Chain A
């Protein structure tokens, strides 16, 4: 038995990925559940408008982070700010009572706000009036499914080629690297698009999720996000020798995205350091775009930053992945000395 235990520890020590999973995963879970997993939001970004704006803003609970006070502002201006995700709550004051407009697409933020309704204020939830879960989760689920196909399924597909030795065969066939790369990735791209369509239609028909934004902008988010996740999948495949290794790596990229992207836990409730990790994850920005288009239909300019960040991620991740994948299909000249071209001897 002792021999068995010693052997197992030796193997464990040499399996760097498994060690990473065994040590990295508990640390990640500790961080997530210690600093991120909170449903109660303590900082609600708020705008207060109307004749009594100054007075009302001074009487608000400390959870309300008043970012703007505008005595000349009106309900229309507040609705636009909520639609463009500039604030999460807007209070429209009047001569008598006030109205608190709450962004229902931010489920937990809205619930936190509704637990702290200021006196003489009528709450009104916009975009998701019943605070249903489905309208908030379906857009995020679309991202999760794209992420799964892009990273797990694609990385497995490419690693399988290497394990079978068929990647080597492709490299000696009259194919350009771009033919192999596009030919390999295009089917996953199409399947992911198909799944995106299916989940979207199912969300609309089965769960009665509204879609009030632009299909074009939503499609653009999906497309750019797909490039990021396919790039992630290919990048994972280029550093994995086996399908098992690819799955381990894919899990390590999936978990933080599920936990820290705002899909489940609101970003606003996370500790600053953890929230910034969330800002580095592509799913965070896809969810912002998708939830916006499904529930709020914001101005395009309001989604410019998420889209620009996703595009940047796509360019970097996809670019690096393609560069590395291309290296698998062409000889590595790293340590090869360059010599004058060899002139073959005469035929004999």
Chain B
């Protein structure tokens, strides 16, 4: 079942278009990752799905129906800024939310010994976990998370993704935005946003497709980087190696020619592009 659907959704702020004709589907039991740099339009899209912002044009349906206030009972939302009361304990935050949703507080699910601590006294990783627990304690059918792993340690991020997977396995549709490319593998499906539009969709492999990268190794890496960057190549510095995204098969020859023409000796190999490199290309 499709729990969230958007069709040609657009949101303008004055003359600025934050979200531009976006289509989106989230089904029960799947995790959809919304990838994009800051300012790509992820949060605006999420706010429209939550009913916090009205689309300028286009349509949104939740659980097969147009958006209605009654659907909020079936939605869980983890905001980028936590959305917890910092001057209440975790247990009090859980209790407050449980009372509103008419459920029992799931204290045992929260932060263990930290439940009686004020939220502001907890480290960020535990705050995010508490925020997640608060959002899912009423067992929502649609779980929307805006950058839920932002600023937390790799271990805490893995735990949060485990929790999201458990929610999807339970049957919830999960939409999660992130700008961490390495987290994309945890999602069942990805939507890549740039400039307010969806510029790519599918699995990591599908999004990367046939894109290739030329790995350039040279002692004069700084000079090589400047040369390639000045020539409008999409180049990333990986340690002392340069990774140049190839737009065509001719790019390898051209890059080598450019560098050797400038007296820079190089060793090169061609390999598949990473998601990061693909994102750089898609975002430009």
Would A173 and B64 count as touching, CB distance under 8 A? no
Would A331 and B53 count as touching, CB distance under 8 A? yes
Residues of A within 8 A of B1 (CB): 347
Would A172 and B75 count as touching, CB distance under 8 A? yes
Q: How far is the CB of A29 from chain B (nearest CB, A)?
A: 36
Q: How far is the CB of A242 from chain B (nearest CB, A)?
A: 14
A8 at the interface (CB under 8 A from B): no
A169 at the interface (CB under 8 A from B): yes
B50 at the interface (CB under 8 A from A): yes
Q: CB < 8 Å: which of B51, B54, B55, B58 contacts A172?
A: B51
Q: CB < 8 Å: which of A174, A332, A336, A339 contacts B72?
A: A174
Would A172 and B50 count as touching, CB distance under 8 A? yes
Chain B contact residues, CB within 8 Å of chain A: 1-2, 5, 7, 12, 25, 27, 50-61, 64-66, 69-70, 72-73, 75, 77, 79-86, 97, 100-101
What residue of chain A has the Cβ atom nearest to residue B48's Cβ? A331
10 extra A-B contacts, CB within 8 A, seeds A171-B52, A176-B69:
A164-B84, A166-B83, A172-B72, A174-B72, A331-B53, A335-B12, A339-B57, A339-B59, A341-B66, A347-B2
Would A169 and B83 count as touching, CB distance under 8 A? yes
State in angstroms the CA–CA spacing of A344 and B64 once bound together: 6
Q: CB < 8 Å: which of B25, B53, B73, B86 contacts A174?
A: B73
Given known A-B contacts A342-B66, A347-B1, A168 and B79 have beta carbons under 8 A apart: yes
Q: CB < 8 Å: which of B7, B53, B72, B86 contacts A173?
A: B72
State in angstroms the CA–CA spacing of A166 and B50 once bound together: 14
Would B66 and A333 count as touching, CB distance under 8 A? no
Chain A contact residues, CB within 8 Å of chain B: 164-166, 168-169, 171-176, 331-333, 335-337, 339, 341-345, 347-348
What residue of chain A has the Cβ atom nearest to residue B55's Cβ? A336
Residues of A within 8 A of B80 (CB): 165
Q: How far is the CB of B233 from chain A (nearest CB, A)?
A: 38
Given known A-B contacts A169-B79, A347-B1, A342 and B57 have beta carbons under 8 A apart: no
What residue of chain A has the Cβ atom nearest to residue B85's Cβ? A166
Would B52 and A347 count as touching, CB distance under 8 A? no
What residue of chain A has the Cβ atom nearest to residue B6's Cβ? A342
Would B58 and A335 count as touching, CB distance under 8 A? no
Q: CB < 8 Å: which of A168, A336, A347 contacts B83?
A: A168
Would B27 and A336 count as touching, CB distance under 8 A? no
Residues of A within 8 A of B2 (CB): 344-345, 347-348
State in angstroms the CA–CA spacing of A347 and B28 once bound together: 10
Residues of B within 8 A of A173 (CB): 72, 97, 100-101
State in angstroms the CA–CA spacing of A205 and B132 once bound together: 53
Q: How far is the CB of B25 from chain A (nearest CB, A)?
A: 8
Would A337 and B56 count as touching, CB distance under 8 A? yes
User: 8 nearest interchain CB pairs?
Assistant: A342-B59, A165-B81, A336-B54, A169-B83, A344-B61, A331-B54, A174-B73, A347-B1
Residues of A within 8 A of B52 (CB): 168, 171-172, 331
Residues of A within 8 A of B56 (CB): 335-337
Would A175 and B100 count as touching, CB distance under 8 A? yes
Residues of A within 8 A of B64 (CB): 344, 347
Given known A-B contacts A172-B50, A174-B70, A339 and B58 have beta carbons under 8 A apart: yes
State in angstroms the CA–CA spacing of A335 and B14 once bound together: 8
